[in-house]
Structure 1
Amino acid sequence: MQINPFLIFKKLWCNKELIKSFSKREVISKYKGSFLGILWSFITPLLMLIVYTFVFSEVFKAKWSTGSGSKIEFAIIIFCGLLTFSIFGDVISRAPSLILSNTNYVKKVVFPLEILPVVALCSALINSFISLGILIICIGIFMGTIHWTLIFVPVVLCPLMFLSVGLGWLLSSLGVYLRDIAQIVTIAVQALMLLTPIFYPTTLIPQNLLFLYYLNPVGYVVEDMRKVIIWGKFPDWSSWGIEMLIGVVIFYLGYVWFQKTRAGFADVI
């Protein structure tokens, strides 16, 4: 099946209002019925930041290879890595059950099922950008400066967004036919998080295991996010270009796979 790549973007753009509506509904429904409601989106990352500061600086006495030895800086570095990975992790973890949890839309011929992974990404981005706002405030307060390189955050995240949606299409389709894929993906996401330099700098990775970092598409994005947000540096444009190419290819292949297999969804479900 050959699909014009530009038609993918055109189709998603035509459904932008539906994507916006579903994303808004997801964010609101996540906290529906709770006393504090949407405020939990701000409270949760703030509490996480406090917990990470205590656990890694007080309990483990861990330090980053920046030379400052600041406990607050260490927590900020870890938090930045976690919020970046959470965008990818949230989409991929949910992907296998996206179609199965929306079976009422499967038999509606006119409903664009392909927007579901995009909605999952938008929901993850909203939560992550709330956390990012808290992170920037903390950087301004405790590190004394907010770098103008923040403008590169959307650019740095582009490869990760393409990769997440592409794999989302693939895994959501496989989840219909192979129900065990959800358990496999859960384990894989947890393993990938530990293999990503979130809780440790890349300088601590043994030389014989560096290939795991080079093969990890999320690791580069985490490192670049720290550069532009915390240290006011430019992204590594060479690795960004490679990541972007990989992300776009997976995005396209994932969409082709999804369209090729969606005809059997109704029969299996």
Structure 2
Amino acid sequence: MATTRTVLVTGTSSGIGLSTAALAARAGWQVVATLREPARAQALTTRAEAEGVVLDVRALDVTRTAEVEALVDSVVETYGGLDAVVNNAGMGLVGTLETLDLDDYRRAMEVNYFAVVALSRAAMPHLRASRGRLVTVASVGGVVGQPFNEAYCGAKFAVEGFLESLHPVAAAAGVGVVVVEPGAVATSFAASAVRDRDALLAAAGPYEGALRAYLTRTESVFADAQHPDEVAAVILDALQAEAPPFRVQTSPVATAFAGMKLADLDGSRVTGTTRRWLDG
């Protein structure tokens, strides 16, 4: 049996996934770092060299279930087992019902929700065998719905419900399930959700004023965003702690934001707060 623990991390070309792969390898894990486009691996390999660690970098499109299953089988064949998974790959999408189409919503669900289900399902027999850990990067947007993020938050709400339901079942089989909830993080994630600000505003129609106010507020929030290494440190703790909680936020700001929802039984505090974001 292998003595080095093996973890599979998705979405490692940048941001949280890149930091998680590097920190886990530095902590002694054998890291299989996946990304959709191998051509975007330069930042990952540069960080690995700087840390003095070796990563097993592999291509993976998390929306292709057959590819996901084949990769898990290959990892198990290579290393003799699988001790942990970090579901990190995801996508943001800014817009609302009348500015997005159904294919946009379906794409958000495929990347942010169904990909998590597919990888978790493929990995679970191996995690049972190792009594391992299934860690998923969700978001405070999986707890508090946010304006112009219906597609993204809807998918992240689904992730939270799926994993909260799975948690006791997996625990009975010896597998720990953890959801990590970051707030604003200094990565390219937010920018990728708003690829062309001017075009987004031009297409907003009657929602232009509210969207402009939302984008201005969001830019100010991300100006003080958390560093991805800080989030990765929380993920590493979730991987290694003897008995981590099911749900963990990555900063006091994220904890306070998520706590607003959990203490708001009728929803008025949440919707009152987010409605004010749209006032110019």
TM-score if structure 2 supplies the norm length? 0.34
Q: Which has the higher helix share?
A: 1
- Greater RCO, CA 8 A, separation 6+: 1
